[in-house]
Amino acid sequence: MPPAVESKQTVAGVRWEIAGVKIKDYPRLAWRGLMVDVSRHFFPKEVIMAYIDQMAKYKLNTFHWHLTDNQGWRVEIKSLPKLTQVGAWRVPRTGYWKGFKAPEPGEPATDGGFYSQEDIKEIIRYAEERFVTIVPEVNVPGHSLALIASYPNLSCTQTPQQVLAGDPWNPQRTNVLCIGNDSTFTELEKVFSELAQLFPGEYLHMGGDEVTRSYWDKCAKCQQRIKTEGLKNSEELQTYFLKRLARIIQSKGKKPMGWYEKLEGGLAPNMAVMSWKDMKGGIAASQQGHKVVMTPAFNTYLDFYQGDPYLENGPFTVTRLNATYNWNPVPLEANAANILGGQGSLWTEQVAHERKLQSMTWPRALSLAEVFWTPQPKRQWENFIPRLEAHLPRLDSAQVNYATHFYEPIVSGVKDSSGALQVVLSSEIKDIEMYYTFDDSNPDKFYPKYQGQPLDIPKGAHHIRVVSYRHGKRVGREINLPLSEVEKRVRK
């Protein structure tokens, strides 16, 4: 169908023809996922359904829904109503994450939202119609400030807490559940029981990453648990927690999954893992017989920028389109039979609007769709680009925002033999022409063209601006950098 088929308006004058062909095709991997974090920013159910719709067009079949974190609890649990009465709300802050001001005394918590169980059923039905499975995540025992703000008795300190707005971390905060307190398990059983009844998929994700174990070291109840269970230390206490929660999840007829980090105390048996820091954890877990989903940050974290970091406002790093494309989710060292697949993961600290949710996802999710579908030897970066470009008009027609940063100049610096700074330009893809200025005017194709040699800097210049053309057409944004920034990029 032509791109106009994606239009939200009625379209006239198009012949709706498809060629009669026979297709034999099948995916490389079973788990072809995207994750969206709805805790750092809440997105209404219409946004989630539109996101799933767009995934399904590219046969991405698993939606990992990160429903809880320090910044908000987003799933209605009928037996624990405070989770959404209290835990879904924080004080409003806008802009640079981590630079926010802490809540003022008495300031109302008005920012947030949650999905009712009716909303969730509607989203599940919508996803099922599109052959997308939803994997819900409730992240415990760390990342639990919203839960603890709702039920402070579940932390080691039992002190009142507020849902995090994004202000710098304050050591008085307790975002880790107390493992010595049996109520922790009683309440989590209620949560996972309701999740198991709601969600038809086989996996429930229990989080498990970035646990600050020092709270446990100072807690009499946690220390008592270590003693009575014959554990060596807080690392083993974390594994005790994982095993006990995994058993609860299995008792509800579901399979447990958790984030994988270096877990000194070991994983729970039968627990599937999601490897996020790198591939090593996932490779090791696959060899030990655990099912694995690969989502290594430097290839698949969709919160990382796609273009020049200097043009972004935020605390993250870069994962360009070619880094997602040129990634093999099933490395030779892994036990391939245990690699379920992979996913792109979108954390939303700096994503406050649906348009940004889209532009952080696309086009990187197009490259991931191909990574998960196509056999490794058949994938080639340069011949992916025309296929990608064929889909951009479809995204335009569907009014889905996408980044064009893969067209943009990449600016770095070198030193000449006399130690003077020179500017080097490159690009992710072939057939890009770049034009530059040092005089603070906006370059176009009538300005000097980059010829592949390092550029000497004219006396007095303090910025470089560069633009890209492809097949004679302006593409991507203008990159505008102070030369002091270029200087920092010189490899020592």
Q: Is 487 a catalytic residue?
A: no
Of 112, 141, 180, 413, the one binding Zn ion by CB under 5 A? 180
Which one, 180 or 207, has the nearer CB to Zn ion? 180
Which of 41, 64, 66, 69 is an active site residue? 69
Pick from Zn ion, ligand ACM, none: which does 219 bind, CB < 5 to 8 A by kind?
Zn ion
Site membership for ligand ACM, residue 210 (CB under 6 A):
yes
Cα–Cα dist 51/33, whole Å: 12
User: Are the beta carbons of 146 and 87 closer than 8 angstroms?
Assistant: yes
Q: What is the dihedral of CA 250, 255, 256, 261, to 10 degrees?
A: 140
| Residue 90 burial (10 A CB sphere; 0-12, 13-18, 19+) | buried
Which of 128, 210, 431, 440 is an active site residue? 210
Site membership for ligand ACM, residue 209 (CB under 6 A):
yes
CB hemisphere CA count around 101 (13 angstroms): 5
Pick from Zn ion, ligand ACM, none: which does 178 bind, CB < 5 to 8 A by kind?
Zn ion
Pick from ligand ACM, Zn ion, none: which does 210 bind, CB < 5 to 8 A by kind?
ligand ACM
Cα–Cα dist 461/295, whole Å: 42
Pick from ligand ACM, Zn ion, none: which does 481 bind, CB < 5 to 8 A by kind?
none
Site membership for Zn ion, residue 223 (CB under 5 A):
no
Q: Which residues partner with 473 through β-bridges?
A: 470
3-state secondary structure of 382: helix
CB hemisphere CA count around 64 (13 angstroms): 29
User: Are the beta carbons of 235 and 265 closer than 8 angstroms?
Assistant: yes
Pick from Zn ion, ligand ACM, none: which does 221 bind, CB < 5 to 8 A by kind?
Zn ion
Q: Is 210 a catalytic residue?
A: yes
Q: From the CB of 209, what's the least distance to ligand ACM, in Å?
A: 4
User: Are the beta carbons of 90 and 107 closer than 8 angstroms?
Assistant: no
Which one, 40 or 320, has the nearer CB to ligand ACM? 40
Which one, 52 or 273, has the nearer CB to ligand ACM? 273
What type of residue sits at position 471? H
Of 57, 82, 93, 221, the one binding Zn ion by CB under 5 A? 221
Pick from ligand ACM, Zn ion, none: which does 373 bind, CB < 5 to 8 A by kind?
none
Site membership for Zn ion, residue 178 (CB under 5 A):
yes
DSSP line for 282-308: HHHHHHTT--EEE--HHHHBTTSBSS-
Q: From the CB of 334, what's the least distance to Zn ion, in Å?
A: 36
User: Are the beta carbons of 117 and 198 closer than 8 angstroms?
Assistant: yes
Chain positions 10 to 39 lying near ligand ACM, rule: CB under 6 A, are none
Which one, 179 or 334, has the nearer CB to Zn ion? 179
Q: How many residues bind Zn ion (CB under 5 A)?
A: 6
Cα–Cα dist 358/351, whole Å: 10
Chain positions 181 to 220 lying near Zn ion, rule: CB under 5 A, are 219
Site membership for ligand ACM, residue 304 (CB under 6 A):
no
Tokens of 316: 């993250």
Q: Is 396 a catalytic residue?
A: no
Cα–Cα dist 319/198, whole Å: 35
Q: From the CB of 31, what's the least distance to Zn ion, in Å?
A: 35
> 45-57 and 354-361 helices cross at what angle (nearest 10)?
20
Site membership for Zn ion, residue 156 (CB under 5 A):
yes
Which of 41, 66, 143, 391 is an active site residue? 143
User: Are the beta carbons of 150 and 73 closer than 8 angstroms?
Assistant: yes
Site membership for Zn ion, residue 142 (CB under 5 A):
no
Binding site for ligand ACM (CB under 6 A): 209-210, 259, 276
- Active-site amino acid positions: 69, 143, 210
Binding site for Zn ion (CB under 5 A): 156, 178, 180, 219, 221-222
